Chains A and B, each alone.
Chain A
Amino acid sequence: QVQLVESGGGVVQPGRSLRLSCAASGFTFNIYAMHWVRQAPGKGLEWVAVISFDGSNTYYADSVKGRFTVSRDNSKNTLYLQMNNLRREDTALYYCARASGYRPSYDYWGQGSLVTVSS
C-alpha cells in the first residue's frame, strides 16, 4: 500500500536550518510530482513547494522562496525539504503529498512532521 513517512522535524531556533525527509513506498515514486504542504497549529493548509517527477523543476510559495529547497532522490524513493533561515512563522506540521502534477490533487499524504521555531 502507498505510504509516505515524514521525519526530521523538531524544535529549532530562529535563523537556523532543518531538513525534512519523506520516505515513499508502495508505488512507483519516480513518476509522481511531490509537494510539501504545511499547517500551522490550529490554522489552515498552506502549499510550500513542488518538485517534478524527475527533479528537474521546482516551484515555491513566495513565503519560503529563497530559504527552502525541495529535492528528491529517486534511487532512495525519498523527498526532502531543506529549510534555512527559519522564522517563527514557519512553525507548522509539514506534510508531504503525492500528486500527478503541479495541481493540488493530492491522493496520498504523510502523517506530517512538526517543526517548531522558537528561541
Chain B
Amino acid sequence: QSVLTQPPSASGTPGQRVTISCSGSNSNIGNNYVYWYQQLPGTAPKLLIHRSNQRPSGVPDRFSGSKSGTSASLAISGLRSEDEADYFCAGWDDSLTGPVFGGGTKVTVL
C-alpha cells in the first residue's frame, strides 16, 4: 500500500484533457514539493514535473502540475497516443524521513 494515493487508471480520447490526482498528508504533500514521472512500457521513469509545477527542459507544456493542501494533480492537455503510459507522483515524507511514491496511474488513450 503506497503512502501517496493515485487512481489506478485514467483514460481519454486524443485531444482531450486528462487529470490524475495524488493524495497525501501533511507529512508529505502538505509540506513538501510533489514530483511527477512518466513511465513508458519497458523503460525507466522520466521526470515530468518537479517542485510541484515546474517542467524540466524538454517536457512539453501539455503537461502541468498543481498542488493544493495535501493533494496534487497532473494534467495532460491535448492528449496524444504517445502519452499512453504509467504516471507516478512522488514526494518527501517528513515522518518517514525519505521519499515516497504513489501507486501509479495507467493512462489509456482511447
**Is B24 an interface residue, CB under 8 A from the partner?**
no
Q: Are B47 and A45 in contact (CB under 8 A)?
A: no
**Is B102 an interface residue, CB under 8 A from the partner?**
yes
Set of chain B residues within 8 Å of A60, measured between Cβ atoms: 98
Set of chain B residues within 8 Å of A45, measured between Cβ atoms: 37, 45, 88, 90, 101, 104
Main secondary structure of the interface of B (DSSP, over half): strand
**Is A46 an interface residue, CB under 8 A from the partner?**
yes
**Interface 1/0s, chain B 70-108, versus A by CB < 8 A?**
000000000000000000101110001111111110000
Q: Are A44 and B104 in contact (CB under 8 A)?
A: yes
User: What's the minimum C-beta distance from B46 to chain A, rounded to whole angstroms?
Assistant: 8
Identify the A interface with B (CB < 8 A).
35, 44-47, 50, 59-62, 95, 102-107, 109-112
